[in-house]
Each structure stands twice: as structure tokens, then as C-alpha cells.
Amino acid sequence: MEHSLLVSIGSRFSFLLLIAITVVGCAETGDFGRRRPGLFEGKQGLDGPGEWFGSRATLTDTEIEFRNRAIAFSLNPEKPNFPSIDALEFAIGSDPDLYYSRVAGHADLSVTARYKRVERDALADLDLVPLFRATACRVAIDDAQRLKAMAMTSNLSDVQRQLATDRVASNAEIGRIVEHAMIERVDAYHIAVERLYAASPDREAKPATQAIALLRAEVEKGNRCGMGLDVPSRAHIIRKG
């Protein structure tokens, strides 16, 4: 388990950096998902002045919602039994071994309750997936307008153009990462039910499995609006005027 956990942490390091940089200062996780914030979530970090294109002040309301909804998929669905550092929770994400241990690790829970925890988590995600994708679509539309506006004006510096372009690229990357995280979330639920059933067969396995199947079908629909906008690279940014 230690080896798989280390691999999981390493594979998610880029996600941690991206989310940590772009989400700090947004609304608390609990407003957009199942988990409440931990020790340091939702706290304001260092930021530039409002007129700086890279400042949080330039995030639209839709981008703030988009990033907050992304947080809901970046954390393990089950809270730790003991206090945990937020950065570690981001890096761990939906690690299946850890998810199962948290579901089954409560001595005061019955076998039935453990199955119901998985069912509850899967059904909660079933509601969150379309909400995230709808927000992602609105961000994609806004980013298309952002790129169009940059192409039509000569009143931006090279730095301002690059920061605006970086914002578009960041939004697209968050969308791609969350789509992958959704798949990992489904797999974690499936693995948890298999392990629970092998240890303690129970009739509650059926509704939990049905909830996971519904979630898998929803995730497999994909993000139909697409977040993969063609973003000009730094080398191709031409300042007009």
C-alpha cells in the first residue's frame, strides 16, 4: 500500500500545483462538493494588485466556481479519521487503497453502513459531474471570447497577453485533469465495493453497485463542450500596433 500511495502522490503533483496556484482564495470546498475544507483550505494567499492580469481579482465568477468545483474532485471523497494536511489530501486524491481504508476503517460502523457510504459518495458525484461540466462549458465560452478580444486590440502589453493566454491554458488543463479524476473516482468506488463484498457480503452491495454504474455512465458521456481550446504559445503571441 505504501508503494501505491507514493506512486499516486507523484502522479498528482502537477494537479496539486495547478489547483493550489489557481484556487487559493476562492470559496470553501463544502459549497460545491461533499468535503469541507481542512486546516488551510479557503485561506487567502499572496496575490498581486487587482490591475495585474495574473491576479485573483481578474478571475470571473464563473472561473471561481469552476475552480471550486474542481477541488471537489481533487480530494479523497472520504475525510481522514485524523487531522490531515491539505496539500497531502490534494496529492492523494481518490487513491483507491486509501478510500477503502477510510470507508472500512470506522470501527463504529456496521457492514451495511460501509456500503451506504460508498453509495452516498457515488450518488453525490452523480450530481456534481454535470454541474462541473456545465461550468466548464461556460468557462470555455468565456475563454474563446478572451482570445478573440486579445486578437482585436493593440492596447495590451506582451506580458498582459501572455498572462491572459496562460489563464486560458490553465482553465483547459484543469478541465482535462478533473475529467481524468472522475474516472479514478469511479474506479475507487468499484474497488471498495469489491473489497467490502469479499470481506462481508451484504445485500446493500447491490444499491451501491447500481449507484456506481450510474456514475460510470455519466462520466463516460464526457465533456461535450470541450475544454481543449487552441491556445497560442508564447512564441506565437504577436503584439498589435
- Residues 69-79 have pLDDT tens digits of 999 999 999 98
pLDDT exceeds 60 at position 213:
yes
| Least confident segment among 42-56, 64-78, 91-105, 129-143 | 42-56
Alpha helices in 46-95 (DSSP H): 61-74, 86-92
pLDDT exceeds 60 at position 134:
yes
What percent of the chain has a predicted confidence (pLDDT) above 70?
A: 70
What angle is formed at CA 126 by the lines to CA 90 and CA 132, rounded to 5 degrees?
A: 60
| Averaged pLDDT for residues 67-91 | 87
- CB 109: neighbour CB atoms within 10 A? 13
| Averaged pLDDT for residues 45-64 | 67
**Which long-range contacts (C-beta less than 8 Å, at least 24 apart) are formed by 154-159?**
154/239, 154/240, 154/241, 155/241, 156/239, 157/239, 158/237, 158/239, 159/53
- Looking at residue 79, its pLDDT comes to 85
pLDDT exceeds 70 at position 25:
no
| Set of cell numbers at residue 133 | 461540466
| Least confident segment among 5-9, 156-160, 177-181 | 5-9
φ/ψ of 49, rounded to 5, equals: -65, 160
Q: 97, 93, 91: which is closest to 76 by C-alpha?
A: 93
- Looking at residue 89, its pLDDT comes to 87
- CB 133: neighbour CB atoms within 10 A? 23
Give yes or no for a contact between 115 and 196, defined as CB atoms under 8 angstroms apart.
Answer: yes
pTM score of the predicted model: 0.75
Amino acid at 227: M
| pLDDT confidence band for 45 (50 / 70 / 90) | low
Give yes or no for a contact between 66 and 20, defined as CB atoms under 8 angstroms apart.
Answer: no
| Averaged pLDDT for residues 167-192 | 96
What percent of the chain has a predicted confidence (pLDDT) above 90?
A: 53
Q: How far apart, in whole angstroms, are the C-alpha atoms of residue 10 and residue 6?
A: 6
Query: Phi/psi class of residue 25: alpha, beta or left (left: φ > 0; alpha: ψ in -120 to 50)?
Result: left
pLDDT exceeds 80 at position 131:
yes
| Averaged pLDDT for residues 164-185 | 94
Q: How far apart, in whole angstroms, are the C-alpha atoms of residue 208 and residue 223?
A: 25
pLDDT exceeds 60 at position 111:
yes
Q: How far apart, in whole angstroms, are the C-alpha atoms of residue 41 and residue 180?
A: 23
